[in-house]
Amino acid sequence: MAAALPHAAGPALALEVTGLRVTYGSTVAVDDVALDVRDGEIFGLLGPNGAGKTSALSAIEGLVAPDAGDITICGVDARAHALKAKAQMGVQLQTTSFHSDLTLLEIARLYAGLYGVSLTAQQIRDRLAEINLQTEASRRFRTLSGGQQQRFSLLIATLHDPPLVLLDEPTAGLDPQARRQLWDRIERFCKEGRSILLTTHSMEEAQAVCERVAIMDHGRVLTLDSPRGLIEAHRNDPRVREVAHGEITLEDVFIGLTGRELRD
């Protein structure tokens, strides 16, 4: 009798979430969510307002204690070893509140110290040069444009070179030029070996930069695949065809599965 062939190893995972449940009193915000982010992958988490994206992200970041589920970050059990897991992550929130009167150099020095990273003033200036802010080192954070603030916030979130970066709507409110620059930065992270989990309301962004996306609503993951795979899988869904105008797009799939009604 021939010996059984060994199973091929699956892709290495920067993040694995299974059975995640988050509640606020009687409200279930996240209900049995499972997803994973592969090494070097940009993964998008999509959903209308109130779908549970931010609650899921908050549980992964360790800001909210989940009621159930497992979270593994770069092989570390995040619930059993919270500090070790957090050290593997860089987090950029949708709104970042640095001290507005500190200069970029002062903020970078402060956060480098908090991360336990030794950086000289010249090394910080070199990092600022990578995001075209080398001439702004002595400017106060509050004087920066929205795009500059977002680029700087992402720099601070990755000062300690984390393998996993979590981004909550990183391009919200940015003009097209600033948005494209941030996309380039995110894609460069992945070429350097980092993994990205981002939430976004922009279907254009999801299609442009994400290798896979999950669409959430009412606390659950409705579907998960590459943007092209989602379009192919749902192009004949009557709900999707009803909202489509011409060729089926990712936005048509999103609206078809989550509905037309406005969410506050």
Are 170 and 239 within one domain?
A: yes
* Residue 228 in this model has a pLDDT that exceeds 60: yes
Collapse the DSSP code of 202 into the 3-class scheme (helix H, G, I; strand E, B; otherwise coil) and give the result.
coil
Are 23 and 82 within one domain?
A: yes
Are 171 and 246 within one domain?
A: yes
| Structural contact between residues 86 and 118, judged by C-beta atoms closer than 8 angstroms | no
From residue 252, give the alpha-carbon distance in Å to each of 16, 130, 172, 220, 261.
28, 37, 21, 19, 14
Write down which residue in 135, 161, 187 finishes a domain: 161
Q: Note the pLDDT of residue 262.
A: 77
Domain extent, residue 120, equals: 94-161
Query: Which residue in 47, 73, 1, 57 sits closest to 224, CA to CA?
Result: 47
CATH of the domain at 230: 3.40.50.300
Across the range 167-188, mean pLDDT stands at 85
Are 33 and 111 within one domain?
A: no
* Averaged confidence pLDDT in the chain: 90
Are 80 and 204 within one domain?
A: yes
Buried b (16+ CB within 10 A) or exposed e, 13-40: bbbbbeebbbbeeeebbbbebebbbbbb
Are 131 and 225 within one domain?
A: no
Phi, psi dihedral angles at 44 (to 5 degrees): -105, 135
Q: Helices marked H in 90-143 — which ranges?
A: 104-115, 121-130
At 67, list the tokens. Answer: 């009621």
Across the range 39-63, mean pLDDT stands at 94
Q: Note the pLDDT of residue 1.
A: 42
Q: Any idea which residue has 């995972």 for tokens? A: 13
pLDDT digits (tens, 9 = 90+) for 188-201: 888 888 999 999 98
Q: Domain count of the chain?
A: 2
Are 52 and 24 within one domain?
A: yes
Please count the residues of the chain.
264
Are 169 and 230 within one domain?
A: yes
pLDDT digits (tens, 9 = 90+) for 96-147: 678 888 999 999 999 999 888 999 999 999 999 988 899 999 999 989 988 8
The CA distance from 75 to 53, in Å, is 23
Are 57 and 107 within one domain?
A: no
pLDDT-derived band at 92, boundaries 50, 70, 90: confident
Across the range 232-237, mean pLDDT stands at 96
